[in-house]
Chains A and B, each alone.
Chain A
Amino acid sequence: MALSGISRVIDKIKFGLLSPDEIRKMSATRIITADTYDDDGLPLASGLMDQKLGTIEPGQKCTTCGNRVGQCLGHFGHIELARPVVHVGFAKLLLKLLRSICPECSRLLLSEDQFEDFKKRKEQQVRVFENVSDVLIQNIFKTARKTKQCPYCGAERKKITIEKPTTYYEEVGLDQPRRLYPDDIRERLEKMNDADCRLLEINPEATRPEWMILTVLPIPPVCVRPSITLDSGIRSEDDLTHKLVDVIRINARLRENIEAGAPQLIVEDLWELLQYHITTFFNNEVSGIPPARHRSGRALRTLTQRLKGKEGRFRSNLSGKRVDFSARTVISPNPHISINEVGVPEIIAKILTVPNHVTEWNIEDMKQLIINGPDKHPGANYIIRTDSRRIDLRYVKDRSIIADTVEPGYIVERHLKNKDLVLFNRQPSLHRMSIMAHEVRIMTGKTFQLALLVCTPYNADFDGDEMNLHVPQSEEARAEAQFLLKVQEHILSPRYGGPIIGGVHDFISLAYIFTRKSSLFDKNTTYQLLEWGNVFQRNPEFKLSDLKPETTDPEPLYSGKAIFSTILPKDLNMQLKSNFCQKCKDGCKEEDCEFDAYVNIVNGELISGVLDEKTYGAGKPTTILLRITKDYGPDAARKFLDDSASMLLYFIMHHALTMGLDEVDITSIMPKINEVMAKANQQCDTYIKAFYENDEETMPCAPGRTYKETLELRIREVLNKARDEAGKIGAIQLGDSAHSVIMTKSGARGNPLNLTQMAACVGQQAVRGDRIHRGFSDRTLPHFKVHDLTARARGFVESSYRKGLDPIEFFFHAMGGREGLVDTAVRTSSSGYMQRRLVNALQDMVVQNDGTVRTSTDNIIQFVYGDDRVDPAKSDHGEAVNVKNIFLKAKNMYEYFHYEKEVQERKFQRLEEEGKLTKEIKKQQDLIENYEPVFDAEVKFPKKTEPKSSKKKTEKKKTVSKKASEKAKKMTSTKKESERLEKEETESKYTDEYFHKLYNEETGKTAIWRGSLTQIFLKWLEKKKEELGVK
């Protein structure tokens, strides 16, 4: 849709109330009959379904405008009310108005002076703020309410009360309060003068106050309240229609009674009933009256209910529109595709379409698509001709004929095909990585397929998760998706300047095994791994001989490190410490580390160290991926991710990690663990004994706690210690080679505590952070004595998961487990609400080009975004510049140059030996040999110390200024500077604050009183300054 159709621009919008005349004027017909249809099922004239109100039946014409269903927007009707009725929506305002106007002359109860004063204040606000504050209007009402006597006619103001929702009373003297009927109120409001209205911010031209009392009720068009015909042929009317039937019926009865001269009481009752029906027609949830109900007992959904809340018009239909060109299905993993891709089932691809413009260059392809039609995959569903007529290919008999008529300018809505860009989304969409662009890959099956590495940003797993897919329809949208939304552009999270994508689970544990020193591969396997890592694809010249084998005897074996190095960028240099680092106190042994924890990558070669969660995992700031993304761009990062994952995948398929019951079997050292437990129980018993005997020597009271709390604290300490100890004993038995241990140590999944719980001891169960203490009076279960404080009676589980829990332990474990479940349920719902409020508050804030953060109305929220204008996504962990890295990079560049030179020289040598040295290559050789890199100067590189930018500068200066003369010059200059600094220092010492403090110390008085300097202080200051000789 083009924007060319705009002919008028909205200048302003005026809000006001409909006057009775306006309602009559816009009405198509007056509604008299309460019935809807006659016996033949035709709408009754002047009934609620009158054809003049528009039509909902296909084929019928609207009698007012002559259009059919789609075209006719519907027309309002009206009811003449027998007696006026209050509009609930204005009940509060009416009360305020009634209270602030004179009961006799209807003037606003303000003296002329007050009136003028308010008027002036209003004008001033309009001048400054361009609108009037609500507070001021409230003030006007408040002031008017305080006036006792009308300053114009002298009438006394009477107290007016309201009985919710719409009944008003006036208190006259000590008598029973007099009821104010809607027509009384209307009469008063009619008399209100225009100037008074204007002061109350009511524009009398658009809104006369008496219009808040209804005398005519507009009837919404039929299409607002369509009736539904059920299969059985029975008509079911809309809630609004039901309500209107009631209104009309009571209105008619009221009129009849009035005309028949019925007693006052009956008329009033009917009037009250009419008020009720009209009130509930507007809002069926008004407090003070029972909601109108269906025959079934369900409350009616009337006008207010249609708009309000999550299922209301605004949140459900306007903010939450359903869209075309979208699909949703279950997701499943596919480790073979790139992180940039998504597998789309063919069935879906045949429904989703992309509009393609036919040009001279693609006309043949387009014709083929049309011939394939809607049922064969790379086909098309629609053609849009140059006269913008749409042809549905499903109903075309011979598509080849249509294909021949196609010419440039046509639009073909073709099926989704490979390489198309689509948006992929998983709810809840909590951050911007929840919607990313993927390239389509048409696949068999009925699920969307995605790479395992993108599960992290979507927070997806495959236990039945569903995801949505949207197809961009315009070039602009596609361009945006291509350059801003692709997965590779979202490797770095804006939450912290690190990668959010990275290895998960098996990729981590297997990366560790793969890069261990002990992993060696023969020639065949190496070829396989290289092939899976796309090494030959990326570098066709690559030969296995480029890889240095670890041993050659009896056959060449290649290390995992060397093989992994083939997918690293050639000039990558970095040093890291992996998860296995023990943080040795006597300094890092670096490459000689016995845990192989020092990861050293030199010129794209993994020399030492193993890969694990810290260096390869998702969401970690230390990964290799961070450096690759920052230094080589998202494209290289994506390739690294895809290739490494693919290479590891081959390895995973042959070296899967698994775990069985026997792995956590530590029966042989169970006696040792039992010993520990017995000791812990003993310790607990002594503490409990001390508690009952108030023996502060054995168990001193902890500071800030009662003795009971102290006991709990001590027991928890003892038991946790016992559990950890049991875990340690268990860990010895498990060893380092158990698969579960590899998983935890490499950081793939699980933690040491999980292993302890499985093998040795589950430990203390807690509810709300305390040992379990609830249940029966003073005991947890009837199995224990009252006031039993021992470990077992308070939820300590001595068994391991492998051994199994006894019934009592099991019960306590269930108690603790339930709390965890409740917590997660509560957390998700409350965090969802928080997110909604945050988004609503922040959605229109923009960081402008000048670095300010402003709202859509140009209000400044922050003068400099984040105080430093740094985009966290592009920062290095929050720092704008990582100085250490820059130095490292410079150093590496220098080193890499020489490395590359060597490599080239070797290449030339080889060529020379082979006699393939052509003239052109020789020229290249000369160029390289004579090239002097600019950075080949005497630059000292800092060693490891955290460099501070200011320090660095001075250091640099020193290295540059070598000449003696320069030095001398500098000396003098620095001398001068130091003198100046000294002076400044002494001067800066005498700040205002300093004097304020001094004054306070000497006299005990404060220098500033009520926001200004005191006279006494100023006099003192003069004296003091003279004493000190300061200006």
Chain B
Amino acid sequence: MVKEKPKVDILLHEITPKHKILTKEETEELLKKYSIKLLNLPRIFSDDPVVEMIGARYGDVIKIIRKSDTTVKEVESYRFVMKGKRVR
């Protein structure tokens, strides 16, 4: 049986953190800021539901803004989109 895609916009759910695709310039700036290579970033699968929703592709960098578990602040994090297990 083929599973149909759920017709829910997960981005609207309250516990989904904000996701944003970085532009090339922003990515470069980020790498320069931390003086790292692209692959030193934490990774996320390209077939992750959120990644598919916002339309990010392999090689993109995603910025995630989420509520902190330990502090009151919102925290920024970045993910490098790697190829998912499900080949698209």
The 8 Å CB contact of A858, one of B7, B36, B51, B55, is B36
Query: B50 to chain A: closest CB distance in Å?
Result: 9
Query: B10 to chain A: closest CB distance in Å?
Result: 9
The 8 Å CB contact of A996, one of B9, B34, B77, is B9
How long is the Cα–Cα vector from A129 to B8 in the complex, in angstroms?
35
Task: Please name all residues of chain A whose beta carbon is closer than 8 Å to the beta carbon of B12 when the two chains form the complex.
Answer: 993, 996-997, 1000
**Proximity string of chain B (52-69) to chain A, C-beta cutoff 8 Å, 1 when within and 0 when not:** 111110000000000011
Q: Is A863 within 8 A of B55, CB to CB?
A: no
Cβ-based interface call for A1011 (8 A): yes
Q: Is B69 within 8 A of A867, CB to CB?
A: yes
The 8 Å CB contact of A867, one of B34, B51, B55, B68, is B68
The 8 Å CB contact of A859, one of B40, B54, B56, is B40
Q: Is A861 within 8 A of B42, CB to CB?
A: yes
The 8 Å CB contact of B70, one of A866, A1007, A1011, is A866
Task: Please name all residues of chain B whose beta carbon is closer than 8 Å to the beta carbon of A864 when the two chains form the complex.
Answer: 75
How long is the Cα–Cα vector from A128 to B82 in the complex, in angstroms?
11
Query: A342 to chain B: closest CB distance in Å?
Result: 37
**Proximity string of chain A (846-870) to chain B, C-beta cutoff 8 Å, 1 when within and 0 when not:** 0000101010011111011011100
The 8 Å CB contact of A1000, one of B9, B38, B41, B56, is B9
Q: Is A1012 within 8 A of B9, CB to CB?
A: no
Cβ-based interface call for B28 (8 A): no
- With A850-B34, A1000-B9, A1008-B9 known as contacts, the answer to whether A863 contacts B53 (CB < 8 A) is no
- With A867-B68, A867-B69, A1011-B53 known as contacts, the answer to whether A860 contacts B75 (CB < 8 A) is no
Task: Please name all residues of chain B whose beta carbon is closer than 8 Å to the beta carbon of A852 when the two chains form the complex.
Answer: 34
How long is the Cα–Cα vector from A858 to B36 in the complex, in angstroms?
7
How long is the Cα–Cα vector from A129 to B9 in the complex, in angstroms?
33
**Proximity string of chain A (112-138) to chain B, C-beta cutoff 8 Å, 1 when within and 0 when not:** 000000000000000011000000000
Cβ-based interface call for A1006 (8 A): yes
The 8 Å CB contact of A1011, one of B34, B42, B55, B69, is B55
Q: Is B71 within 8 A of A1008, CB to CB?
A: no
How long is the Cα–Cα vector from A860 to B76 in the complex, in angstroms?
13
**Proximity string of chain A (133-158) to chain B, C-beta cutoff 8 Å, 1 when within and 0 when not:** 00000000000000000000000000
Q: Is A868 within 8 A of B71, CB to CB?
A: yes
- With A850-B34, A859-B40, A1012-B55 known as contacts, the answer to whether A867 contacts B9 (CB < 8 A) is no
Q: Is A867 within 8 A of B8, CB to CB?
A: no
The 8 Å CB contact of B75, one of A867, A997, A1006, is A867
**Proximity string of chain B (22-49) to chain A, C-beta cutoff 8 Å, 1 when within and 0 when not:** 0000000000001011111110000000
Cβ-based interface call for B73 (8 A): yes
Q: Is A858 within 8 A of B40, CB to CB?
A: yes
Q: Is B53 within 8 A of A1008, CB to CB?
A: yes
- With A1006-B9, A1008-B11 known as contacts, the answer to whether A867 contacts B73 (CB < 8 A) is yes
**Proximity string of chain A (984-1012) to chain B, C-beta cutoff 8 Å, 1 when within and 0 when not:** 00000000010011001000001110111
The 8 Å CB contact of A860, one of B42, B56, B69, is B42
Q: Tell me the nearest residue of chain B to A1007, going by C-beta.
A: B9
Task: Please name all residues of chain A whose beta carbon is closer than 8 Å to the beta carbon of B70 when the two chains form the complex.
Answer: 866-868, 878
Q: Tell me the nearest residue of chain A to B38, going by C-beta.
A: A128
Task: Please name all residues of chain B whose beta carbon is closer than 8 Å to the beta carbon of A997 when the two chains form the complex.
Answer: 12
- With A867-B75, A1007-B9, A1008-B9 known as contacts, the answer to whether A860 contacts B36 (CB < 8 A) is yes
Task: Please name all residues of chain B whose beta carbon is closer than 8 Å to the beta carbon of A1006 when the two chains form the complex.
Answer: 7-9
Task: Please name all residues of chain A whose beta carbon is closer than 8 Å to the beta carbon of B37 when the two chains form the complex.
Answer: 858
Q: Is B52 within 8 A of A1010, CB to CB?
A: yes
Task: Please name all residues of chain A whose beta carbon is closer than 8 Å to the beta carbon of B9 when the two chains form the complex.
Answer: 996, 1000, 1006-1008
How long is the Cα–Cα vector from A866 to B68 in the complex, in angstroms?
9
- With A852-B34, A861-B42 known as contacts, the answer to whether A867 contacts B53 (CB < 8 A) is no
Query: A951 to chain B: closest CB distance in Å?
Result: 14
How long is the Cα–Cα vector from A859 to B39 in the complex, in angstroms?
8
Task: Please name all residues of chain B whose beta carbon is closer than 8 Å to the beta carbon of A867 when the two chains form the complex.
Answer: 68-71, 73, 75
Query: B16 to chain A: closest CB distance in Å?
Result: 10
Task: Please name all residues of chain B whose beta carbon is closer than 8 Å to the beta carbon of A866 when the two chains form the complex.
Answer: 70-71
Task: Please name all residues of chain B whose beta carbon is closer than 8 Å to the beta carbon of A1008 when the two chains form the complex.
Answer: 9, 11, 53
Query: B59 to chain A: closest CB distance in Å?
Result: 9
Query: A126 to chain B: closest CB distance in Å?
Result: 12
How long is the Cα–Cα vector from A1010 to B11 in the complex, in angstroms?
12
How long is the Cα–Cα vector from A868 to B26 in the complex, in angstroms?
23
How long is the Cα–Cα vector from A866 to B53 in the complex, in angstroms?
29
How long is the Cα–Cα vector from A860 to B69 in the complex, in angstroms?
18
Task: Please name all residues of chain B whose beta carbon is closer than 8 Å to the beta carbon of A1007 when the two chains form the complex.
Answer: 9
How long is the Cα–Cα vector from A559 to B71 in the complex, in angstroms?
45
Task: Please name all residues of chain A whose beta carbon is closer than 8 Å to the beta carbon of B51 when the two chains form the complex.
Answer: 1011
Q: Tell me the nearest residue of chain B to A1005, going by C-beta.
A: B7
How long is the Cα–Cα vector from A867 to B77 in the complex, in angstroms?
10
Q: Tell me the nearest residue of chain B to A1013, going by C-beta.
A: B55
Task: Please name all residues of chain B whose beta carbon is closer than 8 Å to the beta carbon of A129 when the two chains form the complex.
Answer: 39
Q: List 21 A-B contacts (CB under 8 A).
A: A128-B38, A129-B39, A858-B36, A859-B40, A859-B42, A860-B40, A860-B41, A860-B42, A863-B75, A867-B69, A867-B73, A867-B75, A868-B68, A878-B70, A993-B12, A996-B11, A1006-B8, A1008-B53, A1010-B52, A1011-B55, A1012-B55
- Shortest 7 CB-CB contacts between residues of A and residues of B: A1011-B55, A867-B68, A868-B71, A867-B75, A867-B71, A1006-B9, A859-B40
